[in-house]
Structure 1
Amino acid sequence: MLVDPPGRLTAPPRNRGARPSYRCRGGSRGSPSYPPPVDTVRCPSCGEENPAKFRLCGFCGTSLTPAPETVRCANCGEENPAKFRLCGFCGTPLAATSLTPAAPAPAEGAVAAGRPSTAAAVAESVVLPPSEVRKFVTLVFTDLKDSTALTGSIDAEAMNEIKARYFRTMAVEIERHGGKVEKNIGDAIMAVFGLIRAHEDDALRAVRAAFGMQKALAALNEELSRVYGVQITSRTGVNTGEIVANTDPDADQNLATGDAVNVAARLEQNAPAGEILIGEVTYELVRRQVEVERLDLTLKGKPQPVPAFRLVDVRDAAPSAMEAPAAPFVGREAEMDRLLGAFKGVLENRDARLVTVVGDAGVGKTRLIADFIRRVAAESTVLRGRCLAYGEGITFWPLVEIVRSAARIGEDDSPETARGRIAALLRTDDPDREAIVDRVASAVGLSPSAHPVAELFWGARKLLEAQAAQRPLVIVVDDIHSAETTFLELLDHVVESSRDVPILIVCSARPELADVHGAWLDSGRVERIDLTPLEAADVEAMIDRLLAGSSLGPDTRQRVVAAAEGNPLYVEQIVSMLLDHDGGGEVVIPPTISALLAARLDALSRPERAVVDPAAVIGLVFAGAAIEHLVPDAVRPAVEDYLVALDRKQFVHPLATDGEEASFRFHHILVRDAAYQSLLKRARATLHERFVEWAEPVNRERGRETQFEEILGYHLEQAVRYRSELGPLDEAGQVLAGRAADKLGSAGRRAFGRGDLPAAANLLRRATALLPKDADLRIELLIDLAYVLMEDGEFDGMLEVVTDAASAAERNGDERRARHAAIARSSHALFGGAENVNTIGALEEALAAIEWFASVDDVYGSTLAWRLVAAIHGTAGRYEEAAEANQRVIAAARQIGDTRMAARGAIGYAISSLHGPTPVDEALRRCEELRNEVAGDRKAEAVILGASALLRAMGGEFDVARRQAAEGRAMLVDLGPSVTAFATSTESARIEFLADDPALADAQLSRDLASLEAIGEHYYRSTVAGLHARARFALGDVDGALASAILCRTLADPDDSEAQILWRSTEAKVQARRGDAATAVRLALEAVAIAAGTVDLVLHADALRDAGEAHLELGRTDDAGPLLREALTLYELKGASAAAALVRPILDRLAAPLVG
């Protein structure tokens, strides 16, 4: 553990930058009030002006006449011998700090431990970060009212004297509260609070200053009335917001600009004479300290009324006395008991559970989980991953960290080595070992192979189960509110599908989780633990731990307890700030946590900020080597020292490396966010780009380009974003945008390949947004996006994307991409439910496109076109043509290595064989071959196995059929809950119908019907409901049969021939049994007619058989016979011997009287 340098807490009190207390009404008392002296010297530490004769700064105590041959510490301001590498007072590295003006050049040979002295480094012209930054400040605008009329009534010389005394008086009030007069404009004064150095109470200081200015003006008016016979009136506006300004304390003017400045000026212009108006943000920061009246103003340049508040009074109460918590404080014992109870439960039940700890930023989620881990670490394996705060598209990043930790994968490990380490986590006799490794490697970017999401879920779960089988497993996932939906589904899969192993998943989240993933959070799968602020006694205990042997005075401790309001992060940061000042200084209630962090960041030396700023651009976790690349040249040699100092100050901390390169983590994400927001947009853009310049060759050398492709794409995307916000992109910016689009597009295509549709859509949309409208890559990515949206059921979005791609291709005269877009448009019309679809025209267009694609050797285009042809034939029931087209899809996809498209073609080919006229034996052989070809794609295997099972049952092999159907369903369930898994009864129930076991069919269909209803699914549910109606009728439940038939009819799409046949066939038999002959016959014959329009022999035969049974219910044996005989013929033609065996006894009974 890193410790403070010896003597840190015994050094003389410094309290640099602190202001005297101003606990008084209206700011009428407090720090000494005197006009600024004419002859002054600026303090090099805090930037304040002092009388020229002062030897020490009256504000912070820094020496104003430094001794020669010394180096001034940029953190505490103390002077040190030039040879010192660390400050002897506070331990801050002295590298890249400023030599005092009187110091001569360092003596030759000032070298320690083989490194150049820091003084020598400074002497070589240190380049520090620019002083211009974005800052969150409070501005005060005040102006004289009716000064023009006053000027005309008195002598100009007297008016100048009056204005000079006014400006001087107002400046005293502004500066005594820590503000800076930015400029005087005519009769107006513009002041800024929090510009040079932020304070957590800048808004309150500004309001107190404005209120004090009113009182000071009242006193001044008494003198003006006596001397000049006049009085003056002012009006004031106070506003808080982001500005861009130069924070160099030596600058003559800091030139604050931004919308916050304009609003402050507008508030002043709308204020009545003698009044103060404060803006909405300012009011939110000081509302417990002020009394106001609300107004709504219409300001120039603002489309909506702007809330404003007339300041009535500033309360005298100390801030800590007013910030009572809104809800009772609670401890952590109950929450810890729940976590320990969850852990005990998984141990006893050997199952998986998921607990999510929810609370505001800084409330103690991380601390609670860390203490829990400490308690269970001795009897469990703990793995941890985090969701990136910017993790769009970084779906499996938490899994990456979990796998790297579990397998001890090093930064320099090759993909092959890393895969070997993953394999070592699994039993050597596990038959799925190679498949698990391949899926996990694909998910974490260690393999170029692509698998459906369900396959990745299965592989990840199997790996975690293997770990949990050896030792109870605790998985911690931080910042789950930033997770993608697909990753939440992975967690659900682990919880729901893991068996006989103890796994506890503990997530942390901010309250916005309820907004972005409310349904997931509220589901029964997630146990929620809400954290509220700590009790005062708990805060006291936390202070003791943070002090680690140091001390605070009793009054100071109480002020910390009161100011923190039970927020552990507030406690931590306030105590850290006090320790930076040897336990002294004013404890003020942080108006917001961001203001507190801004104050701490401003307390850093400029070289320390030179390290923090690029780290903030990289992210929450960053590599030391990356920082060395990004910092200014003069800071680079001492980066390690500055990181040590930042660790001591609790801004960052090192992570365990296990021999790898050093990496660090910000102490909290809010620290990182505050630092990032302070950077100029141009600086952000430059640092994002430079980080990629460093990371690309590093990742290439380590063979992990694909693993970090999404992250690097994000950084390039942000660089382009900030460049474009500052003006039109130049040629270099366009090149940068192209690089970003290339990386995001590649990542999106890989996400599509593994079936992660949400991530694919997100990444492809972002990639296309970066490119010119007519760029070739943009058109290609738009077409990819169209198919992603099609598979995700977003047909409106698909049509918009396809139209965009087609228009761009047409403008470019690009026939190849125009034909790709046309194929996608036809696919939308076919699958998207468009009215009056011209399938004949679409088919002709697709066939013509295939011929053209062949002429230009566009295999991918041919794949798209053949898939459309297969879909058109399949929808029309032309299964032989569909089978041939699917074969073409498979061949073309394999030629270009598109495993996703090849698997889809294989599924289509199997379904065509099942439902088409292909005899059962031949169709069965084909399905077995296809299953072998898609081996490894478990979903495709399972679907094809289901088709094989039904074919087996048609041939009378019921035991084999049932076993295969169960195996296929188990594979789908093992991949996680899905519509496909919930619809397996469409095959298994038909097997039971053929086996003459309607009761078992009913049980399976009821199960799936409930599951599909629970998720609001319609398409498959209509078929399941139709089959359920058949089962209920076979069991003699006529009312239940009719209810399910009606449900099927309600859910069925008009072009869903199977569902339309099922509800008609069953309802016909129900009406026949009830004696409604006309309705029964009409419905039965409608079903037969629909079935005759397809080449599905079994579906047609089933409709004929149901029609015959309806006629038998009516006693019309003569009409039933021909229908049943035709059904028998079709069954025999298909080779469905089991179905034929069910019809023959009925025909025998019909023929029996004739024999007699």
Structure 2
Amino acid sequence: MLRCARRYGRCPSASHYRGPHRMQEQAQERRLVTVLFADFAGFTQLADQMDPEELQVLVSGIFEDLAEEAVANDGTIEKFIGDAIFVVFGAPVAHEDDPQRALRTALGMQRAFADHATRVMKERGIELGLRAGIHTGMVVAGSVRSVAEYGVMGDTVNTAQRIQAAAGPGEIYVSQASFRLTNREFAFREVGPIEIKGKEKPILVYALTGERSDGRPVIDVAAPLVGRWMELSRLDLAYQSCRLGHTEVVLVAGEPGIGKSRLLSEFTGLATASEEGTKTEGPRVMRWTFSRVNQRSYAGFIEPLLVELGVDIAAADAQTKLGERLGALGFANPLMTVPILAQFLHLPGAPEPASESEEWKRSMFLSVYDVIAAMARARPLLYILEDLHFADAASLDLLWFLASRASRVPILILLAQRIGPGAPEPRPSRTNFTQLVLEPLSDEEAARIVEATFDWIPDELRDRIVARAGGNPFFIEESLRSLVESGAIARDEAGEWRLRDRPSVLEVPATLHAVVAARIDRLPPTA
């Protein structure tokens, strides 16, 4: 498999990208993957007109740009085939969002290819186009072709290649399996059923048109929060301490899907609702969820501060607005703080720091602390940082600086992170610190989620869902959502959920395959 992208003076080949998987025989295993095929339209005409060496240089540059898009999204380049590139997401290392990564890669490839196509049209008068096909399904992964070479094999690969062949230049065709996993984040138009070789029936495909700016609503199964009253009570104790002027840090840890974000959302709703109807103003809430991709340094603080301060980063008067907001927060001389904070927030006109020395870094941290502390003194502050295991190192440094600096300021810092490899270790501070580890729900609690979500469900089906979920609320909700999407459960005329079809087999949704596979792949080799 091809695992890295570098610049070469000739068309890249598999040997340039081979990683450690080539060094030893890989055991075969079944894996859920998303496969991306892309090839050039117009390549034959171009080859007829160009000198072979010139053609090689041109194609090399195109392939390198396409490969970089794949690697940037943690895709694994399986091979180059003539004028085509074959990329796998989910093997040998799985991520929970592999289908989304594949679609982002395809969109990025189209943008990168467009630059080359424009130049070729201008210089040669030949129209080039990139067409791509994407499909999600099971494959056999490992030493499928030779003992020294990792690869994937199966009908999923063939289907992706044939979907790509049906696409027109500039188009990205996506199978229904991939569409179902990504339509919340991406926009599509329906192409309709297409005939492909090797399939008895036509398959439904969609044309990818772009990534949504706002996620599409998911099917609402309205599963209640169950079995977390003890954790809610401990969060409330920390909040009451915060209201009395103390700084508290609470870290909520647990396995993927165990309910960390749900617990924090439920608590935040209770904390803000408790002040309604009283003369006491409710807490200020600042929240950020870290991401594994496209994340800048200090992301966990820059974005929430911009929102809370009401500063438009694109506005020419952003620094003036910042000074006004600092004055409203009680800063005696806001003009002293604006230059440093403007650099931190990357506001227009802010000069680059003369040096990123420890002294400058400390002055920046102190300025950020002063702003957050001023906000908290005006109203108790809930500062929520989720998916801390994806946090950049700079945000972690600033987080623990704030936690150690603040002790008599009404701030409740709520953190959520996964347990296991890659999770950052808490750093000691003067602040009160609590760690809550969420355990799986009991079978009784899991059954209550199913029963509270649907008006009626057979005991046998409920028990199968509970047994398969292993006490994981996300697994339960995704299993229920899968039943809804398949049509086995639907709302009747009165809007009540009803079982329409008894599924003979309770399939594991692809979202759960991804979570489990990603969790396994994060384990150390000795696990």
Query: TM-score by structure 1 length?
Result: 0.23
Rg: which structure is higher? 1
- Name which structure has the greater RCO, CA cutoff 8 Å, separation 6+: 2
- Flag the structure with higher helix content: 1
Query: TM-score by structure 2 length?
Result: 0.49
- Flag the structure with higher strand content: 2
